[in-house]
Structure 1
C-alpha cells in the first residue's frame, strides 16, 4: 500500500525549512505504533471531508469531470488538506483536485491522482507518432543526473530515473497521453517509486493527472488509468479540435511535454527535464504536481517560461 510516515500535526504546521531539521518525532515508536498514530491523525483530519461523484465543473480549468462511483473526487481545498496537512507537502494552490479509489482513505489508498491545469497554449502533437521514446528516456536520465546537484543543495534526496515503467502512448483520437517512470531516490533504501503521468490536450492548455503510488502498486494503477483518464473532458470551445489559427501556442510538442512539461530549450536552460517525485530526508515526502507545481516553482525561481 502507498503509505507515508506519520508526522505530528504540530510538526506539520512548522515552517518548511525548520521542519526538515527538526528531530524525527516518531523515532522511538514501533512500526505498529507509527501506523496507528498516523491512522488516528488522518481520521481526525479528514472527518469533515466529503467526496463527490457525477458531473463536476472543475474550478480553475475549462474542464468537466465525469466521476464514476468507483472513484472518489476531492475538491481543491480538500486536496490541499491531503497534500499539505496529511502528506506534509509545502503549500501549492495549483492543485485543482484529487482522485482516489472509492472508499479508500488517502492515508491508506494504493494510489492518489493529482489534477492540475496549465494554460500554456496549444501543444502540437505532430511529433507524437515518430518520437523515439528510448532516446528520449536517455536524455531524461542524463538531465536527472545533472539535476541531482541542485537537489542536494536544496536538501532533497537525489533521484535515479531507472526507466519506463510504462512507455509513453498517445491516443491521437482523444488527445490523451499516458506514461510511467520507474524512480529510485537516495533515501528510499532501494525501494522503487512509480511516477505515472497522464495528460489531456486542450485548445489553450494541458490538463495533468499525476498518480502518486509506490512501484508495488503499478498493476493497480495501470488497471485504473483508463477509467481515470476518461474522467476529464474539455468543455465545448476549449477542446483540442477547437484550435484555430492565431490561438496561443505552447511552442513545444508531445516529446517535450513528456520530458518535463516546458519547451525543450527552456527546460535545458534550467536543467530540470525529467524531475518527478521528490523525497525529502527524515521520512518527509513531497509531491509537487509535475506540470503545475514544479513548473510554477521553476518560473518563480529562475524566471523561465514557455516558449511560443
Structure 2
C-alpha cells in the first residue's frame, strides 16, 4: 500500500474520528473523589492477565489489572468510547495500558525498511487537519500533532512495532505509546496512556509488563502456515491508521483513536488514589 493510499483512507477516517473525539469530550467526567474502579474485579500483581484465547501477560507486582469486560466498563466511566473489544488492561500509579486484538490476519513485515517517519507524520497531520474541520463545525477545540516523541521502530526479534507521538489540544499535551505485536492471525494492539510529566518513569514499567507478554501456542508470528489469512495492509498502514479495507471493517478506530483522544489521561489520578488506599 502506498503512502498516498494511506493518506486518503486516513483523511476520510479522521473526519469520522472527530465525532468520536467530540463524544468523548462531552461525556460526563467522574467526580474527583469517585473511584472509577469501584465494583470492578481489580486484581493486584503478581499474576497472569489472560487476553482471550489469543495471548496472556505474566505481570510483576506493583500493578493492578482488569479483564476485558471490566476494562470496557472502566473506559466508559472515564468518558471514552468503547465497543467492548478490550481484552484487558494493566495500570500503574500514573499510566494505564489497554490490550485489544485485531484479527486482520498475518501482517507481512516486508515494509520494515520503508517506515519513513517524515512521510508518516505528514499523513497523520493531514488527517488531523481534516478532522479539525469537522471539529470546528461541532464547536470542539482543534487538535494538533506536535511531532514524534519516538519515531516508528520495528523489532524483528519480537515482531513489535512501536511509536510515540505527542498531541495537544487547548494547551494540554497527551502521549500515547503505541505498540503493535504481530501474531499469526492478527495484531495485538497495546496502547499506553501517559503524560509528558510521567513518561520517563512509566516507560520502564511498561517495558516490564510487555516482557511477560506471549501469544499462545499456535498464535505466534513464527507459526504462520501457507494458506493462513494475510492482512490487506502492512506496517506503514498500522502507523498511519490502517488501510481502506480496515476502515471499512471498523478496525481503524480500535487501533487509532486513543492516539488523539485525551480522556484517559485523567485515569492517573484515580490510579494513584487506588494505590494509596491499598497501601493504607
Decide which of 225, 239, 242 is 1:258's aligned counterpart: 239
* TM-score, structure 1 as length reference: 0.68
Note if 1:54 corresponds to 2:47: yes
Check conservation: 1:63, 1:234, Cα contact below 8 A.
yes
Question: Where does the alignment leave 5 or more consecutive residues of structure 2 unmatched?
Answer: 1-21, 266-280
Of residues 90, 96, 113 in structure 2, which corresponds to 1:99?
A: 90
Query: In structure 2, which of residues 163, 179, 189 is the aligned counterpart of residue 198 of structure 1?
Result: 179
- Relative to structure 1, the CA distance from residue 100 to residue 138 in structure 2 (aligned partners, 3 Å threshold; closer, same or farther) is same
Instruction: Say which of 65, 68, 72 aligns to 1:73.
Output: 65
Q: Secondary structure at the match of 1:215?
A: coil
Kindly indicate whether the alpha-carbon contact (under 8 Å) linking 1:143 and 1:274 is maintained by their aligned counterparts in 2.
no
CA distance in structure 1 between the aligned counterparts of 2:209 and 2:160, rounded to whole angstroms = 11
In the aligned structure 2, how far is the partner of 1:274 from the partner of 1:145? 16
DSSP 3-state at the match of 1:226: helix
Ranges in structure 1 where 5+ consecutive residues have no aligned partner: 1-15, 26-33, 102-108, 280-284, 288-308
Name the CA distance, whole Å, in 2 between partners of 1:160 and 1:84. Answer: 24
Q: Give the aligned partner of residue 168 of structure 1.
A: 152
Structure number with greater Rg is: 1
Aligned counterparts of 2:186 and 2:245: Cα–Cα separation in 1: 19
Contact 2:183 2:215 in 1 (8 A): yes
Give, in whole Å, the separation in 2 of the partners of 1:64 and 1:82.
20
Using CA pairs under 8 Å that are at least 6 residues apart, name the structure with larger relative contact order, 1 or 2: 2
User: CA 1:160–1:265 in structure 2 vs 1: closer, same or farther (change >3 Å)?
Assistant: farther
Whole-angstrom CA distance in 2 between matches of 1:76 and 1:176: 22
Contact 1:198 / 1:229 at 8 angstroms: preserved in 2? Answer: no
Q: Does 2:96 match 1:112?
A: yes
1:209 alignment partner, one of 159, 177, 190: 190
Normalised by the size of structure 2, how large is the TM-score? 0.74
- Which residue of structure 2 lines up, in the alignment, with residue 28 of structure 1? none
Count, aligned residues? 238
